[in-house]
Amino acid sequence: MAVGVREYAVGGGEQNGEERMGHGRHATHRVDVANPRAAAAAGREDRAVRVSPPVPPTVLPGPRLDLVLVTVEQLLARAASDAPVELGYDDPHDVLGPRSSPLRHRVPQVLADPSVNPWLVRLAVLRQTREIVGLINFHAPPDADGMVEVGYRVLLEHRRHGYAREMAQIMWTYAAGHPAVRVLRATFTPDNDGSRTIIEDAGFVQVGEQIDDEDGLELVYEITADEFATRWNVPRISSRP
């Protein structure tokens, strides 16, 4: 899905939204993406941080999950290795394995600019057991329009426990409170009813469609940061002087 919800192809696997959402690559062909919300957001008084924007913290906590940042060193080490690397948690499924993670998208980003890493890959760790139940990431820091997308994957044995919804909600809540974020976007394939439910329940509405270079036709949903913050009582993060 790409809240983006595409880095793990929202619409892949069991297509129940409990497992995959958005890969973190960008669609190469956009079709019929009317973007009234982004336009409205851009028309408001500029809320972007001009000095020292807040950096996402190492851990973003939720009711059951901690979203733990994967370091630049861990990303680069896994990219250079044929085997799993130490992540600080039990990792029997090699969650950063290049065949099932956004590694191929994220490594070029951190090589070009390591400072973007706090917006990127996070382990979804079940706090009570310290098990890794999945991965989630923003595709990138907020773009010039203040837009961010999220992609996630829940490991097979941990699906159908509501972790996908919790992971996405944690990331959206952080983003909606950030002064540089104006628009949250989600994309998913039309047959991914689970992702659609998570996104629509969060308040997103469809603004268009796009053609993804790997997943084909995707529906594009958005909500402004202000709308999300109001809906979910999210406080805004003050910029640092």
Q: What is the domain count for the chain?
A: 1
13-36, pLDDT tens digit by residue? 334 444 666 655 555 444 455 555
* Predicted pLDDT of residue 119: 98
pLDDT at 237: 78
User: Does residue 136 lie in a domain region?
Assistant: yes
239 inside domain:
no
- Between strands 65-69 and 59-61, the pairing is antiparallel
Mean pLDDT of the region 170-181:
97
Q: Is residue 238 part of a domain?
A: no
In a domain, 170, yes or no: yes
Q: What CATH number did the domain enclosing 29 receive?
A: 3.40.630.30
Report the mean per-residue pLDDT for the chain.
Answer: 85
Give the span between the Cα atoms of 221 and 36, in whole angstroms: 11
DSSP string across 2-62: BTTBEETTTT-TT-SSSSEEE-S---SEEES---HHHHHHHHSPP---SSSPPPPPSEEE-
Domain range holding 83? 6-232
- pLDDT tens by residue, 31-73: 455 555 555 555 554 444 455 789 999 999 999 999 999 999 9
Asked if residue 172 is part of any domain, the answer here is yes
For residue 1, is it within any domain? no
Q: Has residue 1 got a pLDDT over 70?
A: no
Do residues 211 and 29 make contact, with C-beta atoms less than 8 angstroms apart? yes
User: Looking at the domain assignment, is residue 142 inside a domain?
Assistant: yes
Contact residues for 142 (Cβ-Cβ < 8 A; gap 6+): 148, 175, 178, 180, 181, 182
pLDDT score of 208 more than 90: yes
pTM, full prediction: 0.82
